[in-house]
Amino acid sequence: MRGNLNSSLLGIFAALSLSAPLYAQTVVLTTDQHNAALKAESAPAPVHDLTGVWMMRNPPGSNLGFTNYTFTKDPPELTPWAEAKYKEAKASNGGEYTLKTTNDPVLTKCDPPGVPRVYFHPYPFEFVHTPRYTLLLYEYDHTVRRIYTDGRPIPKDPDLLWMGTSVGHWDGDSTLVVDTVGFNDKTWLDRLGHPHSEQLHVTERFHRVNLDHLELGISMEDPKALVKPWTTVFYYELRPKWELGEISCSGDYLDFGNFEK
Amino acid sequence: MVALMRAQLLISTVVVLGVLAASAPTFAHHGTAAYDTKNIVTVNGTMTDFRFINPHVQLYFDVKDEKGEVEKWQAELTAPNKLARAGWDKYTLKPGDSITASGYVGKNDPHTMWINKLIGPDGTSLHLFEE
Q: Tell me the per-residue pLDDT of A66-103, one tens digit each, with 9 for 90 and over.
A: 999 999 999 999 999 999 999 999 998 877 777 788 99
For the segment A29-43, the average pLDDT, to the nearest whole number, is: 65
Residue span of the structural domain in which A67 resides: 47-259
Under a CB-based contact definition with an 8 Å cutoff, are residues B74 and B111 in contact?
A: yes
Assess if residue A237 is contained within a domain. Answer: yes
In a domain, A95, yes or no: yes
Q: What is the pTM of this model?
A: 0.80
Neighbours of A178 (CB within 10 A): 22
Is there a contact between A202 and A216 (Cβ–Cβ < 8 Å)?
A: no
The model's pLDDT over A128-178, given as tens digits with 9 standing for 90+, comes to 999 999 999 999 999 999 999 999 999 999 999 999 999 999 999 999 999
Contacts of B75 in chain A (CB under 8 A): none
For position B106, what pLDDT does the model report? Answer: 92
- Residue A36 has φ and ψ, to the nearest 5°, of -70, -25
Please, are residues B29 and B84 in contact by the beta-carbon 8 Å criterion? no
Q: Total domain count for chain A? A: 1
- Cα(A63)–Cα(A73) distance, rounded to whole angstroms? 11
* CATH at A187: 2.40.128.20
Beta strands in B8-121 (DSSP E): 41-51, 58-64, 70-76, 98-105, 112-119
Q: Are B87 and B101 in contact (CB under 8 A)?
A: no
Residues 225-244 of A with CB under 8 A from B: 239, 241-242, 244
Average the pLDDT over A244-261 and give the result. Answer: 68
A32-46, A110-124, B39-53, B69-83, range with the lowest pLDDT: A32-46
All structural domains of chain B: 29-119 (2.40.50.140)
Residue A5 lies inside a defined structural domain of this protein: no
What pLDDT was estimated at residue A162? 98
* Candidate from B18, B21, B31 with C-beta closest to A260: B31
pLDDT at residue A50 above 90? yes
Q: Is this prediction's ipTM beyond 0.90?
A: no
Q: Is A107 a member of any domain?
A: yes
Residues of chain B neighbouring A65 (CB-CB closer than 8 A):
26
Look at strands A143-148 and A165-170 and give their pairing.
parallel
Interface of A with B in 100-139 (CB under 8 A): 101-102, 107, 122-123, 139
Helix (H, G, I), strand (E, B) or coil at A5: helix
Judge: B11–A123 Cβ closer than 8 Å, yes or no: no
